Structures are given as structure tokens and as C-alpha cells.
Structure 1
Amino acid sequence: MKSKYIWFFAMMVLSFSAMSQEKYSVNYSVGIPTGDTADFTESVSWRGVGFDYTHMLNQEWGVGISASLQTFYDDLGYVTTTEGKETVSANRYNYINSLPIYATGSYFINESADFTPFVSLGVGVMYNQKEQDLGLHVFEEEAWQFSLRPEVGFEYDVSYGLGLRAAARYNAAFKSGDLEGLSHFSIAVGVIWTN
């Protein structure tokens, strides 16, 4: 009797995986600092890359994972900083490296057409490394922060199994330990392929 249930369950899993569609995308992203991130590095980041994987549950809903890396950088030039009795004059550079990793849920509108808009929500963590280089002195803080990422975008099928993807994302990180929440907005453009 138990073997019937095991076989039934195995057949359901196999048929589900045979009907499912997997989507993969590699993206280039431009990062726009917001909040505490903009207070530390106000320049737009042109250094970003990401990867997204979506397992389609049906024609409209998908679940997956998303990871990206965005590097923010500001050259503040030659500055003089005084803290307590110590004064340092040197070139100052500010860096923030953000590595968000999310579990995602996505809703695709009009999946059967070539042009497919979608909305997505990611829940996960973001590793943020905040660094200030002042001459030979390096001041660094880092933390894993709880993070949410709402996203809106579209996919466009170019040919069978290959397409283009564009999305606007807000990576919201929350304060962790002594490090403030370092959030940023990003625009991601890339290629997508399906199996």
C-alpha cells in the first residue's frame, strides 16, 4: 500500500518537473545610492552585475533566487580630517560593496506574448562593506543585513528560448549592528534564456 503512494508521489513530481519552465538571466546593473548610502557615496555606480533564476510554477507565477554585486565609489580629493587630537590630510576615497541575495516570488502578466511585464518581491540578506580610505588609513565596517527588494520589469522574447530583460529594483537594507541600512535603487538590463 505504501509503495502505491510513493509511486504516485514520484509520478506527480516527475510530471511537475517535466511541465515546468526554468528561466535564467545575467544582468548588468546601474546603481543609484539612496538614504545612508547616498550620504556616504553620492555618485551613481556603473559597476554592477547580477544573476537571476526563476522556476515557473505555472504560466503566471514563479519562484527563484537572485544575487548581484554593486560597487559604489567616490573620490573626495585631498581633505583634512580632525578627530580628537589627531589631524590627517590625505586623498579620501569612499567605497560601498553590496552583495544582495534573495529568494524571489514573481508574477508574470500575459506570459504567452513576446512582451511580458512582471512584478517581483525578493526577501533575503545583503552583505554590505563600507570602506573609507584616507591616505594610509583604512576604516572599514561590514555586516549582513536583512533586505527586501521590490522589482518591476519586462521580458521580451527575441527568439525561441532567448530574450532580453529589463527591471527597476529597490534594494532596501535594514540597520544591523553599528552599520546603518545601506540601500540603493538599481536598473538592470540583461539577457534571459529558458529551457
Structure 2
Amino acid sequence: MRFIKTLIILFTLLLNVQLLKAQGTSQFQVNYTPSLPLGDVADYTGNFSFRGVNIAYEYHITEYLGLGITTGINTYYEDIKGVENVKVDIDGKIVTLSGKRYNYTNSVPILATANYYLSPEGQLRPYVGLGIGGYYVMKWTEIGQYQVRDNGFQFGLAPRVGVLQPLAYGLDLHLAAQYNAGFGEDPFSSVDFMVGFAWKF
């Protein structure tokens, strides 16, 4: 709850900065985000994911610095070969489930972001950035008709490198790579590869 309050305060401050800095510009992004799972996520759902989307809003307080907020979703999936026997705790009782097993992981980031543009006026506009916030991670296993879930929220950091290439007035092509690092008992980690568009207004 404290984390959600912090995000609300950050977002409110961002809106206030926008009102105070009339000379700034805003940017809205939509990105396709294929993703490579790492660490515990790769152990559970090891396949490269082609199912991901990201949206972001950013306000440029200077030509070099933009502050914003981003969210999205990435889904990971693995089909475990053969028949599995898995012991699970159901209502305090240890039960052995047998059958075809499918593992799933879904991640929803909620991040406040800061991006620093190295060459804001160039034809190519490279930048480095950092997201601070968290990830709501949904993990579940399906065996036959049974489903075992483990959902939770993790504090996280997301360093990013990217570049914007102008296509038309107010429209840029966006390319970026972002490392996601969640911190918890079962930490979430991945690398997102972003391809999308950014609109200035």
C-alpha cells in the first residue's frame, strides 16, 4: 500500500511539473516488447516470449530530461514435455497431481521513469533511462484440470537504453532494450526488446 501511495504522489508531482513548465513537451509511446526471461523466470518459463506490449507517458522538463510513467504486460509460457507428478499444498493437505504440465508467468510493470537524452536535437536521439516501481507477477501451473497459482507484487528497477528516430513531424520510431529486476522471494527478471512509436504533443 505504501508503494502505491508513493507512485500516486510521483504521478501527481509529474502533473504539477507539467502545469508549471509550459515550455515542455509531452510524449506518448506504444511499444511491442518481445522479452527474454532470466533467472528464476527462465527456470519456470524458459521460452523467449513474443507476447508483450508497453505504453508510456513522458514529460520533458528540459530538452535533455524527461520524467514519466510506464506500464504494460509480458506473458511467458512453457509446455513441459511428458507427464509430470507434482506435490502441492491444497487447503493444508499435500496432494500429488499427475498429468500434462503447463507453466505460465505474466508480468505487469508499474514504473516511474527518468530518461536522459544524449543528443536531443540530433537526427538520432539516443538516451539512457531508469524506471523505479514494481512488478505484479502472476505465476501458475496447470496440470490436467487443476491450477496452482502464486501471485505477488515486487519492488523493482528497470535500467534502459534506447534511441528515437524522427519519421514525420511529431512522430518518432522508438527502439530500446530494458532490463527488468524485481526483488522478492521469487525474484522476477527479464530483458525487454522494444520496437514502437512515440508521439509528441
> Do they fold alike, i.e. is TM over 0.5?
yes
Q: Does 1:186 align with 2:196?
A: no
Partner of 2:52: 48
Deviations 1:48-105 (A, max 9, x none): 0000111001110110001110000011133231539854331110000000010001
Task: Quote the Cα distance in structure 2 between the aligned partners of 1:13 and 1:182.
Answer: 33
Larger Rg, first or second structure (1 or 2): 1
Q: TM (normalized to structure 2)?
A: 0.85
**Tell me, which stretches of 5 or more residues in structure 2 are unaligned?**
1-16, 89-93
Q: Given the superposition, is the C-alpha separation of residues 116 and 93 from structure 1 closer, same or farther in structure 2, using an over 3 Å criterion? A: same
Deviations 1:149-178 (A, max 9, x none): 000010000111001001000110011xxx
Q: TM (normalized to structure 1)?
A: 0.87
Task: Quote the Cα distance in structure 2 between the aligned partners of 1:162 and 1:82.
Answer: 51
Q: Does 1:80 align with 2:89?
A: no
Superposition pairs of residues 11-90 of structure 1, within 5 angstroms: 16-17=21-22, 19-83=23-87, 87-90=96-99
Partner of 1:94: 103
Partner of 1:153: 162
Q: Given the superposition, is the C-alpha separation of residues 128 and 14 from structure 1 closer, same or farther in structure 2, using an over 3 Å criterion? A: closer
**Tell me, which stretches of 5 or more residues in structure 1 are unaligned?**
1-11
**Aligned residues of 2:157 and 2:181 also touching (Cα < 8 A):** yes
Aligned residues: 180
Deviations 1:97-121 (A, max 9, x none): 0000100011001111121000000
Q: Does 1:163 align with 2:172?
A: yes
Task: Provide the aligned C-alpha RMSD in A.
Answer: 1.8
